[in-house]
Amino acid sequence: MKGIFEGFPEDSVSPFERLQKRGVSRRDFMKFCTAMAAVLALPETFAGKIAEAIEKAKKPSLVWLEFQDCAGNTEALLRATKPTIGEIVLDILSVDYHETIMAPAGKQAEKSLDDVVNNQKGKYIAVVEGSIPLKDNGVYCCIGGRSAIEIAKRVCGNAMATIAVGTCATYGGLPAAKPNPTGAVSVKEAVPGITLLNLPGCPVNAENITATVVHFLTFGSLPAADSLGRPLFAYGERIHDHCERRAHYDAGQFVRQWGDEGHRKGWCLYEMGCKGPETFKNCPAVKYNEGTSWPVQAGHGCIGCSQPNFWDDMSPFYRRLPKVPGFGIETTADKIGAGVAAVAAAGVAAHRIARAIQGKGKEEDK
């Protein structure tokens, strides 16, 4: 961990001073650090360590590549309210290349990317959004005269670490759905062997990007990941086990038709095709738009957007899953009791994360 940021350009202004200039108060900064500790499943006491790491961090360089994408992950990161978590991340880092938000265009923009790769080899973070087409020598996605696969190999191959954001970059996503006309693949398939973390989702939750970067700044490493390269803090547990409608599932209370009495009462969406029982992600806890809501809270089932090949494997989206692992309405009362206790514990953790993200402190709980 020590020395990981050695070699980054010196900056006389600390990241926190930069945040202050953007109107972020010390209180807001500490709230942010507490929220990040919660998302990373760390004890609240780690907020101080996170704050210290951010305050001391030299501005690491970040380049954000967009290939076959809709820019939805960029939008998810930037669509926040004051003080924005997105702004905080962007101020902690030196974002030297991002097609959607950068000022330079054309050759000047491409020079910015080349400068980072040439001058900071092995010291920058690459973020990739979108899938990479391999068919016909990759002609279906070219930027500045270079194919996506050429750019990805060069930029990700020379990065300290690469973070693939969104389901297109992590699994191929919509472009890779049958019949996959461009031969779209994930970053992992396109550039094997690199240091890579996958943050799938359509789009990814901004808090999970932020928490990954904060983990990197605090501990000098990417967070622990599962066999699909997804950080365990965000993808370690099923949506179904943290869902606010889970008690209705266990009680056999299901929505049978959109707009029926069960739907109006917030019952379980399993019969309407919810894929929460087979999907691993922390949506019920971190939600979207700074903890405002998430698909199931809004009344629609999860469509499994963080799972590999979800466009093909999870559709039809409104067809009920054939078999759900775990307890169901057919189970015994004892099992339901144990299940409810486990779900209640999971709910407490999710509640802690949601309140931390919304910036609601202990004093507001009184």
Amino acid at 320: R
> Considering only residues 47, 116, 163, 303, which one is a binding residue for ligand F3S as defined by CB under 6 A?
303
For ligand SF4, the closer of residues 215 and 240 by Cβ is: 240
Binding status of residue 269 toward ligand F3S by CB under 6 A = no
Binding status of residue 210 toward ligand F3S by CB under 6 A = no
CA–CA separation, 122 vs 160, rounded Å? Answer: 4
The 3-state DSSP class for residue 246 equals helix
274 binds, among ligand F3S, ligand SF4, none (CB under 5 to 8 A by kind): ligand SF4
Per CB under 6 A, the segment of 2-10, 65-73, 122-130, 267-275 that binds ligand SF4 is 267-275
Angle between helices 206-219 and 26-39 (to 10 degrees): 100
> Considering only residues 88, 161, 306, 357, which one is a binding residue for ligand F3S as defined by CB under 6 A?
306
- State the burial class of residue 299 (Cβ atoms within 10 Å of its Cβ: 0-12, 13-18, 19+): middle
57 binds, among ligand F3S, ligand SF4, none (CB under 5 to 8 A by kind): none
Binding status of residue 208 toward ligand F3S by CB under 6 A = no
CA–CA separation, 285 vs 348, rounded Å? Answer: 10
Per CB under 6 A, the segment of 119-127, 144-152, 213-221, 291-299 that binds ligand F3S is 291-299
CA–CA separation, 148 vs 130, rounded Å? Answer: 10
Binding status of residue 166 toward ligand SF4 by CB under 6 A = no
CA–CA separation, 327 vs 246, rounded Å? Answer: 11
* Both tokens assigned to 201: 């989702």
CA–CA separation, 111 vs 15, rounded Å? Answer: 25
294 binds, among ligand F3S, ligand SF4, none (CB under 5 to 8 A by kind): ligand F3S
Angle at CA of residue 16, ends 14 and 22, nearest 5°: 110
For ligand F3S, the closer of residues 70 and 336 by Cβ is: 70
User: By CB under 6 A, how many residues form the interface with ligand SF4?
Assistant: 15
* Both tokens assigned to 222: 């990417």
For ligand SF4, the closer of residues 78 and 247 by Cβ is: 247
CA–CA separation, 261 vs 257, rounded Å? Answer: 9
Q: What helix, strand, coil percent values describe the chain, rounded to 5?
A: 45, 10, 45
For ligand SF4, the closer of residues 64 and 270 by Cβ is: 270
Binding status of residue 246 toward ligand SF4 by CB under 6 A = yes
Q: Which residue is nearest to ligand SF4 (CB)?
A: 276
Minimum CB separation from ligand F3S for residue 241, in Å?
13
CA neighbor of 184 nearest in space, from 208, 217, 149, 143: 149
Minimum CB separation from ligand SF4 for residue 297, in Å?
10
Minimum CB separation from ligand F3S for residue 138, in Å?
29
Q: Are 254 and 268 in contact (CB under 8 A)?
A: yes
Which residues of the chain form contacts with ligand SF4 (CB under 6 A)?
A: 239-240, 243, 245-246, 249, 268-270, 274, 276-277, 296, 301-302
Which residues of the chain form contacts with ligand F3S (CB under 6 A)?
A: 201, 239, 279, 281, 283, 294-296, 302-306
